[in-house]
């Protein structure tokens, strides 16, 4: 089987997405580019029971290389992202706190050091666009900025990165940051966000965090 280990990694990442509350049942999707091929989760299949053979392998134009299942319904948007951004993994979720934020805000400012580390930049809320349409991909590219996530208004999130771990981590810490920001908004007091100078200082490598 082509890319058997990577197929398993896709399914494991999808199950983590569900475990962490970023999606329910078959919601969202995951994609991973390997050279000129893209592995994607199938449409409308529960991640609980998904098998490596359920993953669909396509080329970057959307032509199926291997797989019997119908690929995710957001395929056009995902291909647009992979063809226009320097990323390999794309995770689409319907995570509730980011979605809640999209109903009341146009941007999640840089609120914490963790957000800077894991999400990389302030996260923009892209205007509503029809689901399962290339527009979701076009909006993601347009609103990405420096960040590893874009929130799609009234829909969910596109998180992306060099690999599945980076994209999942960005989606998770976006969710945590949205929860914190919404809590702060509820206090109805002026909100303190990181300044440009603080972000620059914090982003400097200091070489301690993480295991050697």
Measured from the CB of residue 131, what is the shortest distance to Zn ion in angstroms?
A: 5
Cα distance between residue 25 and residue 116, in whole Å: 30
Measured from the CB of residue 157, what is the shortest distance to Zn ion in angstroms?
A: 9
Residue 11 or 136: the one with the smaller Cβ distance to Zn ion is 136
Residue 42 or 156: the one with the smaller Cβ distance to Zn ion is 156
Q: What angle do CA 114, 163, 205 make, to 5 degrees?
A: 40
> Does the CA dihedral 200-206-208-212 come out positive or negative?
positive
As a three-state string, the secondary structure of 55-71 is: CEEEECCCCEEECCCCE
Measured from the CB of residue 94, what is the shortest distance to Zn ion in angstroms?
A: 6
Residue 116 or 144: the one with the smaller Cβ distance to Zn ion is 144
Residues 53-92 within binding reach of Zn ion (CB under 5 A): none
Does residue 64 contact residue 73 with C-beta atoms inside 8 Å? Answer: no
Cβ neighbours, 10 Å, residue 112: 17
Closest-by-Cβ residue to Zn ion is 156
Measured from the CB of residue 135, what is the shortest distance to Zn ion in angstroms?
A: 12
How many residues make contact with Zn ion (CB under 5 A)? 1
Cα distance between residue 188 and residue 60, in whole Å: 47
Residues 113-172 within binding reach of Zn ion (CB under 5 A): 156
Residue 28 or 161: the one with the smaller Cβ distance to Zn ion is 28
Measured from the CB of residue 23, what is the shortest distance to Zn ion in angstroms?
A: 9
Residue 71 or 156: the one with the smaller Cβ distance to Zn ion is 156
**Phi and psi of 78, rounded to 5°?**
-65, -45
Binding site for Zn ion (CB under 5 A): 156
């Amino acid at each position: 089987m082509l890319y058997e280990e990577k197929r398993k990694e896709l399914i494991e990442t999808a199950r983590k997405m569900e475990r962490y509350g970023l999606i329910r049942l078959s919601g969202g999707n995951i994609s991973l580019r390997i050279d000129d091929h893209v592995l994607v989760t199938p449409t409308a299949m529960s991640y609980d029971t998904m098998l490596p053979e359920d993953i669909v392998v396509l080329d970057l134009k959307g032509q199926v290389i291997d797989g019997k299942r119908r690929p995710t319904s957001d395929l056009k948007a995902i291909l647009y992202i992979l063809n226009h951004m320097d990323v390999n993994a794309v995770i689409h979720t319907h995570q509730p706190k980011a979605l809640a934020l999209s109903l009341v805000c146009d941007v999640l400012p840089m609120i914490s050091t963790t957000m800077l580390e894991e999400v990389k930049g302030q996260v923009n809320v892209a205007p509503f666009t029809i689901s399962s349409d290339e527009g979701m991909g076009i909006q993601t590219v347009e609103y990405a900025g420096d960040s590893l996530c874009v929130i799609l208004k009234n829909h969910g999130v596109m998180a992306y990165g060099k690999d599945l771990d980076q994209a999942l981590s960005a989606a998770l810490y976006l969710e945590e940051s949205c929860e914190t920001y919404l809590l702060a908004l509820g206090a109805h007091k002026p909100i303190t966000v990181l300044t440009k100078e603080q972000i620059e200082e914090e982003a400097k490598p200091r070489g301690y965090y993480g295991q050697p």
